[in-house]
């Protein structure tokens, strides 16, 4: 089983003010654990720079142009209370888009079995017309649309286990019957969306909230009953994962008590559905995870699972 790992040094150039949780050290933490010899078998690739038009698969042209024009030559431009642009942000975000699309191409063409894209800023809070929650372009949603538009996938599932609800992905796919968006996340918590009653216009939005303090047992229970059951019924051609690791018990921004083994388990369970319906095709895109130790441990477990261990 061949696993592709995609990243790029530009992810470090998306600067944030001192103390901001969405910091370049997140990528360094990922790179550090993947230096271990057990990951020597990874196929490693650099995220290409996407043309801005690729982002318009989910974001209107004026939105993309406005963000590019707003990028500063020095310092920061504040988009909302916690989302900022720095001189390196647009390249990093466009390489995040390029990396996600490259991973889909490789998986859909059979060049690798599955892929993990580790770039920042994250993406799943970015709505069609609004950057927020550290996110600029919605890389995972773009990957889904790229699979549909370029590779002819008829049904694509987007599984989101970031501890914060992916309001952007939900917004983008609310009226799209060809995409199943399935999320488990803490509620109440930023951004305030993700109630079980939010189901989309075609009943293809699946929200399975957790409560503060929930741990492995509850997570696995709702993931099996709420996410995997719907995933099986949907029978996707490709599964994209919004892989946030901020539900780890060490994370400072949430209150869910998972450990790294839970992310390994969830990865394997998603892969089982992919083997049955999608030829094993899985593309995972990094979202949150703000404890550097928790992020490193979780990515390691995630990659072990993707590599078939």
DSSP per residue, 35-99: TSGGGTT-EEEEPP---HHHHTTTS-HHHHHHHHHH--SSS-EESSSS-EE-TTHHHHHHHHHHH
Angle at 175 between CA 171 and CA 178, to 5 degrees: 110
- Choose, from 125, 146, 164, 185, the residue flagged as catalytic: 125
> Distance between CA atoms of 194 and 207, rounded to whole angstroms?
6
- Which of 194, 182, 130, 185 lies closest to 156 in space, CA to CA? 182
- Which of 210, 180, 179, 214 lies closest to 195 in space, CA to CA? 210
Angle at 285 between CA 232 and CA 250, to 5 degrees: 95
C-beta of residue 172 within 8 angstroms of C-beta of residue 141: yes
> Distance between CA atoms of 112 and 15, rounded to whole angstroms?
32
> Distance between CA atoms of 252 and 234, rounded to whole angstroms?
35
Q: Is 125 a catalytic residue?
A: yes
Q: Which residues are catalytic?
A: 125
């Amino acid at each position: 089983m061949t696993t592709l790992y995609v990243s790029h040094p530009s992810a470090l150039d998306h600067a944030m003010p001192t103390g901001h949780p969405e910091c370049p050290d997140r990528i360094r933490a990922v790179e550090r654990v993947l230096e271990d010899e057990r990951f020597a078998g990874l196929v490693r690739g650099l995220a290409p720079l996407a043309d801005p038009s690729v982002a318009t698969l989910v974001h209107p042209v004026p939105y993309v142009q406005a963000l590019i024009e707003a990028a500063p030559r020095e310092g920061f431009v504040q988009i909302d209370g916690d989302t900022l642009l720095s001189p390196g942000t647009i390249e990093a975000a466009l390489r995040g888009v390029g990396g996600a699309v490259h991973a889909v191409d490789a998986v859909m063409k059979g060049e690798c079995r599955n892929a993990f894209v580790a770039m920042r800023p994250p993406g799943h809070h970015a709505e069609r017309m609004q950057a927020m929650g550290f996110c600029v372009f919605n890389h995972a949603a773009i990957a889904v649309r790229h699979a549909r538009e370029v590779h002819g996938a008829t049904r694509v599932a987007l599984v989101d286990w970031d501890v914060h609800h992916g309001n952007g992905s939900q917004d983008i796919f609310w009226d799209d019957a060809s995409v199943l968006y399935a999320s488990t996340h803490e509620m109440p918590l930023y951004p305030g969306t993700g109630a079980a009653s939010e189901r989309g216009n075609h009943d293809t939005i699946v929200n399975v909230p957790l409560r503060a303090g929930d741990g492995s047992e509850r997570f696995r229970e709702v993931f099996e009953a709420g996410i995997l059951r719907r995933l099986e019924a949907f029978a996707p051609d490709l599964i994209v994962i919004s892989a946030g690791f901020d539900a780890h018990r060490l994370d400072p921004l949430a209150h869910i008590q998972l450990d790294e083994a839970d992310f390994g388990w969830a990865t394997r369970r998603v892969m089982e559905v992919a083997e049955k319906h999608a030829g094993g095709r899985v593309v995972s895109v990094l979202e949150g995870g703000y404890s550097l130790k928790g992020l490193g441990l979780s990515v390691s477990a995630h990659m072990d699972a993707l590599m078939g261990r």
